[in-house]
Copies of this chain bind each other. A is one copy, B any other.
Amino acid sequence: MTDTTAYAPTDRTVPTRSRDRASYDRATVHAILDEGYVCHLGFVRDGAPVVLPTLYGRIGERLYVHGSTGSRPLRSAGRAEEGLPVCVTVTHVDGLVLARSAFHHSLNYRSVVIHGLARQVTDEAEKRAALDALVEQVVAGRAADSRPADAKELAATAVIALDLTEVSAKSRTGGPNDEPADLALPYWSGVVPLTYGRGAPIPSTDLDPAVPLPAYLAAGATER
């Protein structure tokens, strides 16, 4: 019977080390993806890897990744009928793990790695939905509170779609794993949590002072 709550592990989503840190649970993967908006998109050009940061948005079991029609990976995705082989990685760093030994220093983190074939989104309705998802991923509430793209802007924006099928999450939590023999050493050990926030919004210099700060920016000024 198929486990519908989890992605099926594949040869390339089962890590060669720290297998206990890997998860294929859909809810876990979705939560990590939904907490971010910048991914690192990897593709192959002339046999060599290229990794670029870009925006993404999730709709169900599909990830939409943003780009310009002039950018290299998206032009390739447009040409390749079978889709462009990509790897999309999203990483959140939660804390610095300081052990007594240099060797056991680590990070607490959560990451998602997606492998697959990306296809260029050409359907106008799908592209609009994808772009809304991208904006919403950065600031929830913003897509409905801005001018939608016109036909020219829509044509100038490229979006690639990647199905969430070959996916894994990885995470580390908790304190350092020091060797028993090191516990008496005179070095501090523990975790330094990292914090992420939003500063006070800075209005554009040409903004009409009568336009108020929207509630979705005023309330809950936390990044994650």
Do the beta carbons of B16 and A146 come within 8 Å of each other?
Answer: no
Query: When chains A and B are docked, how far (Å) is the Cα of A176 from the Cα of B207?
Result: 11
Do the beta carbons of A135 and B105 come within 8 Å of each other?
Answer: yes
A195 CB-CB contact with B under 8 Å: yes
Do the beta carbons of B88 and A51 come within 8 Å of each other?
Answer: yes
Query: When chains A and B are docked, how far (Å) is the Cα of A198 from the Cα of B93?
Result: 12
CB closest chain-B residue, reference A48? B85
A79 CB-CB contact with B under 8 Å: no
A112 CB to nearest chain B CB (Å) = 10
A contacts with B: majority SS: mixed
A110 CB to nearest chain B CB (Å) = 10
Given that A103-B149, A146-B102 are known contacts, is A38 also in contact with B190, CB under 8 Å in the complex? Answer: no
Do the beta carbons of B51 and A89 come within 8 Å of each other?
Answer: yes
CB closest chain-B residue, reference A206? B183
A87 CB-CB contact with B under 8 Å: yes
A124 CB-CB contact with B under 8 Å: no
Contact partners of A206 in chain B: CB under 8 A: 178, 183
Provide the A185-209 mask, 1 if CB < 8 A to any CB of B, else 0.
1111111111111111111111110
